[in-house]
Chains A and B, each alone.
Chain A
Amino acid sequence: MLTHLCDLVTRIVTTLMWIAFGALITTVALQVLARNVFMTPFIWTSDVAQLLFAWLIFVGAAVGLRTGAHYRVDMLPEGNRSLNLLADGIALLAGICVAWLLLRYGWELAMVRKTATVQSLGISRFWMHLPLPVSGALMLFYIVEAATLLRASHKGMAQ
């Protein structure tokens, strides 16, 4: 059930991600054209690009947590099951801490910046910082799934 829900959320998020990446490419391409061909630079393109960039990084990092794309250094011996299980547990705990930091303090930062405005776009800077807590929430969601799977595999091994 949880895995199906995670699949659905991931599908929605990755769809939004490729659309946003396409928009990012278009925005910067437009900037190059505006500056070099039309000789009239569009100031708003930099801010839109920066906004999309931040969203893609933090949301992409959360999705990468589910797909196991983050960089890890493997120094533990493979054969020792209990040591590996302990390491997996610590990695999950570390994930919870990071996700909580992003969610709690990312939200606080977004609220602090709420009163400032992105001049060229006329929007609150809140939207520039919102990807931090969103990433934290998404990470927590995926960590719950990973913990469930780890528990199930531990039970399977014990039987």
Chain B
Amino acid sequence: MNPLVTLILSFFVLVALRVNIGFSLILSSALVILLEDLPLISLVNQMYAGIDSFTLLAVPFFMLLGRILNAGSITERLLNVADTTVGHIRGGLGHVNVFVSMVFASLSGSAAADTASVGSILIPAMKKAGYPPAFAAALTAASSTLGVIIPPSIILIIYGAFGNVSIGALFVGGIVPGLLAGVFMMGYTYVLAVRYGYPSNPFPGVKKAASVVWRGLPTLMIPVIVLGGIVGGFFTPTEGAIAAVVWALFLSLVVYRDIPLSALPKILSDGCIDFAIPMFTVAGAGIFGWLIAYLGASKIVVDFILATTSNDYLIMLMLIGFLLLVGMVLNPISATLIFLPIIQALGDIAGMHPVHMGVLSTVVLSVGLVTPPYGICLLIASQIADAPLGKAMIAAAPICLLTLTVAILSLWIPDLILGLPKLMVPELF
């Protein structure tokens, strides 16, 4: 059998047999290394090379940031800000859900953390207010995926680090598509609210609203510190992440005093497992991706697509379809690492800017966090909502289509992604 087919087929068989994804990547790679008569030491060597990057250090810090936000009162403060600003619109709790996910996304960059923290508070509240549990789960899961698009996004860090693309420019490029997807989701919620009579929360008055926003301001400073520092050239992404962690710790330990010092060891040890698993998968994807390149997969896929069409838009549409399928089975981190050479090769052929390509593929892969069988955000949300997964999937389908609409719009109107980077990092264009 062709080694490339063996590699991909053995991986999917292992995944289907419930072997965890990191192990499946390593074992299918080991099998092909043996078949190709390569030394097995190159397997561990490539795994180590996969995580030997200072830029990747940003990942644990952004994940830890999510833990700190949830352990103290910061998430609650964000919820209050969201409730005050958009809660009074028809379908209020739905809007609060999307709005707080957008803000949370700009803080931690972890979609699963957002689903668990926002969902555990808002899903029961939405159910109590009369929203169907399946819709509450679907909206929470889908809006959490905004964390993959809106900076600081862990996937964009990985894309930039391995694809040699400016992470600052990728971050800035993710802002408009992320916000647009959020606005689309709020619009959809409004339409459903009017049709099914979902309630809104009363407006607390300008004075109270101003006071709530004022109290949330120190937290809202975090994305300003991170993005401003990175784009302004003061920090690398890793340093920006550590600045955000230090600021959040200062708020929680000293200003708000809602996290006791004695809770820190547990937060740190849980935070270690949080990042060790995706980074171990990155190490596995490092060897798998290396083999994909070694066996010439990029050329095969590129030749196949070019034999079908030479139209740039059609090439990109085929890539979007391919990434959607891949995203159903792989988490966005593994998918980005494994298929990066193919994504970049097709982007070059279609004349796409590397930043455009990076953000576009990330938007498409984010949908995979909601679609079965690896829709981890939907799994978490439907568990919290106690809603059947099938019903939650049906409720999530139109919301996923909205994110896909943003991807297609960004393909046709490149400035949706490239407009801000052109303004803020013009030296790249």
A88 to B276, CA, bound (A): 23
A94 to B31, CA, bound (A): 12
Render B244-288 as a binary contact track against A, CB cut-off 8 A, 1 for contact. Answer: 011000000000000000001110110111011101110100000
A15 to B264, CA, bound (A): 12
* Interface pick from A48-56, A115-123, A145-153: A48-56
Render A90-110 as a binary contact track against B, CB cut-off 8 A, 1 for contact. Answer: 110011011001100110110
Specify which chain B residues have a CB less than 8 angstroms from the CB of A63 in the assembled complex: 272-273, 276
Specify which chain A residues have a CB less than 8 angstroms from the CB of B268 in the assembled complex: 17-18, 21-22
The residue in chain B whose Cβ has the minimal distance to the Cβ of A16 is B269
Contact call A102/B44, Cβ cutoff below 8 A: yes
Q: How far is the CB of A68 from chain B (nearest CB, A)?
A: 9
Instruction: List residues of B (42-58) whose CB comes within 8 Å of A's CBs.
Output: 43-45, 47-48, 51-52, 54, 56-57
Q: How far is the CB of B7 from chain A (nearest CB, A)?
A: 16
Give the contacting residue for A72; candidates B20, B54, B234; CB below 8 A: B20
Specify which chain B residues have a CB less than 8 angstroms from the CB of A18 in the assembled complex: 264-266, 268-269, 272
Contact call A56/B20, Cβ cutoff below 8 A: no
With A25-B245, A61-B280, A91-B20 in contact, do A54 and B44 touch (Cβ < 8 Å)?
no
Contact call B21/A70, Cβ cutoff below 8 A: yes
Specify which chain A residues have a CB less than 8 angstroms from the CB of B329 in the assembled complex: 73
Q: How far is the CB of B154 from chain A (nearest CB, A)?
A: 14
A63 to B26, CA, bound (A): 18
Instruction: List residues of A (132-149) whose CB comes within 8 Å of B's CBs.
Output: 132
Contact call B273/A67, Cβ cutoff below 8 A: yes
A74 to B281, CA, bound (A): 17
Q: How far is the CB of B53 from chain A (nearest CB, A)?
A: 9
B129 at the A/B interface (Cβ < 8 Å)? no
Contact call A57/B283, Cβ cutoff below 8 A: yes
Specify which chain A residues have a CB less than 8 angstroms from the CB of B27 in the assembled complex: 94, 97-98
B113 at the A/B interface (Cβ < 8 Å)? no
Contact call B276/A59, Cβ cutoff below 8 A: yes
Interface residues of A, dominant DSSP: helix
Contact call A24/B60, Cβ cutoff below 8 A: yes
* Interface pick from B10-18, B116-124, B157-165, B194-202: B10-18
Specify which chain A residues have a CB less than 8 angstroms from the CB of B56 in the assembled complex: 53
The residue in chain A whose Cβ has the minimal distance to the Cβ of B239 is A32
Contact call B40/A101, Cβ cutoff below 8 A: yes
A69 at the A/B interface (Cβ < 8 Å)? yes
Give the contacting residue for A73; candidates B22, B277, B374; CB below 8 A: B374
Specify which chain B residues have a CB less than 8 angstroms from the CB of A129 in the assembled complex: 48
The residue in chain A whose Cβ has the minimal distance to the Cβ of B245 is A25
Contact call B277/A64, Cβ cutoff below 8 A: yes
Contact call B52/A50, Cβ cutoff below 8 A: yes
B24 at the A/B interface (Cβ < 8 Å)? yes
Contact call A76/B18, Cβ cutoff below 8 A: yes
B235 at the A/B interface (Cβ < 8 Å)? yes
Specify which chain B residues have a CB less than 8 angstroms from the CB of A35 in the assembled complex: 239
A76 to B19, CA, bound (A): 12
Specify which chain A residues have a CB less than 8 angstroms from the CB of B275 in the assembled complex: 56-57, 60
Instruction: List residues of A (25-46) whose CB comes within 8 Å of B's CBs.
Output: 25, 28-29, 31-32, 35-36, 46
B242 at the A/B interface (Cβ < 8 Å)? yes
Q: How far is the CB of B331 from chain A (nearest CB, A)?
A: 6
Specify which chain B residues have a CB less than 8 angstroms from the CB of A8 in the assembled complex: none
Specify which chain B residues have a CB less than 8 angstroms from the CB of A132 in the assembled complex: 44, 47-48
Give the contacting residue for A108; candidates B19, B41, B281; CB below 8 A: B41
B78 at the A/B interface (Cβ < 8 Å)? no
Specify which chain B residues have a CB less than 8 angstroms from the CB of A94 in the assembled complex: 14, 19, 23-24, 27
Contact call A56/B60, Cβ cutoff below 8 A: yes
Specify which chain A residues have a CB less than 8 angstroms from the CB of B41 in the assembled complex: 105, 108-109, 112
With A28-B57, A64-B276, A91-B19 in contact, do A71 and B242 touch (Cβ < 8 Å)?
no
A15 to B19, CA, bound (A): 28
A144 to B61, CA, bound (A): 33
Give the contacting residue for B277; candidates A69, A87, A90; CB below 8 A: A69
Specify which chain B residues have a CB less than 8 angstroms from the CB of A91 in the assembled complex: 17-20
A14 at the A/B interface (Cβ < 8 Å)? yes
Q: How far is the CB of A147 from chain B (nearest CB, A)?
A: 15
The residue in chain B whose Cβ has the minimal distance to the Cβ of A89 is B17
A1 at the A/B interface (Cβ < 8 Å)? no
A49 to B15, CA, bound (A): 33
- Report the 6 A-B pairs with minimum CB-CB distance, sorted nearest first: A60-B276, A61-B280, A70-B20, A18-B268, A18-B269, A94-B19
A29-B246, A31-B239, A54-B48 given; 13 more Cβ-contact pairs under 8 Å: A14-B269, A14-B272, A18-B268, A24-B57, A25-B246, A28-B238, A32-B243, A63-B273, A71-B277, A73-B374, A76-B18, A91-B19, A98-B26
- B residues engaging A (CB < 8 A)? 14-24, 26-27, 30, 40-41, 43-45, 47-48, 51-52, 54, 56-57, 60-61, 64, 234-235, 238-239, 242-243, 245-246, 264-266, 268-269, 271-273, 275-277, 279-281, 283, 329, 331, 373-374, 376
- 30 A/B residue pairs, CB under 8 Å, sorted by A: A18-B268, A21-B64, A21-B268, A22-B264, A24-B60, A25-B246, A28-B57, A35-B239, A49-B54, A50-B52, A53-B56, A57-B279, A57-B283, A70-B20, A71-B376, A72-B20, A72-B21, A73-B16, A73-B373, A75-B16, A76-B18, A87-B18, A90-B18, A91-B20, A94-B14, A94-B19, A105-B43, A108-B44, A109-B48, A132-B44
